[in-house]
């Protein structure tokens, strides 16, 4: 079996302004069909490939590697806009953004290997959590067989894997130590199953990944980070969830405005002749707009906190501050998205509940994203920090 481990060379680079222009041209088309795609469950393979080929995963890749060299805040401006266009797509490509962010903390050899893949338009997926054991426990095993390894196991959540060229996952080695590896999605024995049945975020296709005696080579493996140090990647990935929530709130605002203008009728005893002149409809839309605005502001404020930690060479106290601010943003963004998705139905009557409009997707999607990491734990950790100076855990949730 031959393997290309170096990746293709990159050509011209695009600065953040150019990437924003590409996004501005691409996102309206993604948004136009988002509701119908989810209603009939058409997986957005082509749309995700468009994003990758436009190099919109390369915001954070350093300039010297051919990327835009964007700040965390600049990247999150795009991520919020992407989620506002289609939160399913935004969630499905979280692994690609997370992989890039992780490479920023890894050795130069790994950057040289993987950054060109993003510049060539590749998509990365993740096969993470398992079921059947303690939360976060890994039962998948990787065993040495001469000059290579073999891995077997099953992963329950595989966000973005069905759309990906590469799939990252983890297993326990012969010593019981956790190791990570990234495989081409066509590796023999790697089976991606479209069986995700969540009530929301249905098009993330976050189904099962089965690893059936899959061959893994030594240069595809890296050990888990040790030492219990706080990583800048974790708050980035957590803030990503808040950005998706902020995008859902913006999407709910767009649908509320359009429904009130184009479809809604004033209630029989209203003095308004048009729905847009009904003060209660105006109030509902104004409340949604306020929540969406504040959620976006909270995410970008927390993103700036991560940027400050990077500029200070990842000073531990600034990383802790960033983790706390991200948790605060998550609590508010979740509540803003859920409230906005519920208020949306106050701009219309019974017709707003029609399945053809699929307006309930906003609440279902917001609720599904919120269930990844319960916001009450986030609030409690923030409270403990403010009251007692207790630092957030250094696990993958903070």
pTM metric for this prediction: 0.95
Residue 215's SS3 state is: strand
Residue 230's SS3 state is: coil
Question: What is the tens place of the pLDDT at every residue in 213-252?
Answer: 999 999 999 877 756 789 999 999 999 999 999 999 999 9
Topology, domain 233-388: Butyryl-CoA Dehydrogenase, subunit A; domain 3 (1.20.140)
Q: Where are the domains of the chain?
A: 16-122, 141-223, 233-388
pLDDT of residue 313: 97
Pairing of strands 166-172, 124-127: parallel
Question: What is the tens place of the pLDDT at every residue in 179-201?
Answer: 999 999 999 999 999 999 999 99
**Could you tell me the CA-to-CA distances from 373 to 269, 319, 376, 379 in Å, in that order?**
44, 19, 9, 11
pLDDT of residue 12: 67
pLDDT of residue 5: 47
Q: Which residues contact 111 (CB under 8 A, 6 or more apart)?
A: 62, 65, 103, 104
CA dihedral 379, 381, 387, 390 (to 10 degrees): -170
pLDDT under 50: residue ranges of the chain: 1-2, 5-10
Q: Which CATH number fits domain 141-223: 3.90.230.10, 3.30.465.10, 3.90.1150.10, 2.40.110.10?
A: 2.40.110.10
Class level of CATH domain 16-122? mainly alpha
């Amino acid at each position: 079996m031959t393997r290309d481990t170096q990746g293709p060379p990159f050509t011209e680079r695009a600065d953040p302004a150019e990437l924003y222009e590409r996004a501005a041209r691409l996102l309206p088309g993604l948004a136009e069909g988002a509701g119908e795609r989810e209603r009939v469950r058409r997986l957005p393979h082509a749309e995700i490939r468009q994003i990758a080929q436009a190099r919109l995963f390369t915001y954070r890749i350093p300039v010297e590697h051919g990327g835009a060299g964007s700040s965390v805040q600049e990247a999150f401006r795009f991520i919020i806009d992407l989620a506002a266009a289609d939160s399913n797509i935004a969630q499905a490509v979280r692994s690609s953004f997370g992989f890039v962010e992780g490479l920023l903390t890894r050795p130069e050899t790994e950057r040289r290997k993987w950054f060109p893949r993003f510049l060539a338009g590749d998509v990365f997926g993740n096969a993470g959590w398992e079921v059947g054991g303690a939360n976060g426990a890994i039962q998948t095993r990787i065993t040495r067989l001469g000059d290579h390894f073999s891995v077997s196991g099953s992963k329950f959540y595989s966000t973005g894997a069905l759309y990906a060229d590469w799939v990252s996952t983890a297993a326990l080695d012969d010593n019981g130590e956790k190791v990570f590896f990234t495989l081409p999605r066509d590796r023999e024995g790697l089976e991606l199953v479209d069986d995700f049945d969540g009530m929301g975020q249905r098009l993330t296709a976050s189904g099962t990944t089965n690893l059936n005696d899959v061959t893994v080579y030594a240069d595809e493996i890296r050990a888990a980070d040790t030492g219990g140090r706080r990583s800048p990647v974790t708050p980035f990935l957590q803030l990503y969830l808040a950005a998706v929530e902020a995008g859902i709130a913006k999407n709910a605002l767009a649908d509320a405005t359009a429904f009130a203008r184009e479809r809604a009728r004033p209630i029989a005893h209203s003095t308004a002749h048009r729905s847009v002149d009904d003060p209660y409809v105006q109030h509902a839309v104004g409340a949604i707009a306020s929540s969406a605005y504040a959620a976006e502001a909270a995410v970008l404020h927390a993103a700036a906190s991560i940027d400050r930690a990077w500029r200070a060479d990842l000073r531990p106290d600034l990383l802790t501050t960033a983790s706390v601010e991200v948790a605060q943003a998550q609590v508010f963004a979740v509540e803003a998205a859920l409230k906005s998705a519920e208020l949306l139905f106050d701009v219309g009557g019974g017709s707003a509940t029609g399945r053809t409009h699929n307006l309930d997707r906003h609440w279902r999607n917001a609720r599904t994203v919120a269930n990844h990491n319960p916001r009450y734990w986030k609030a409690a950790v923030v409270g403990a920090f403010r009251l007692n100076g207790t630092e957030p855990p250094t696990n993958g949730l903070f």
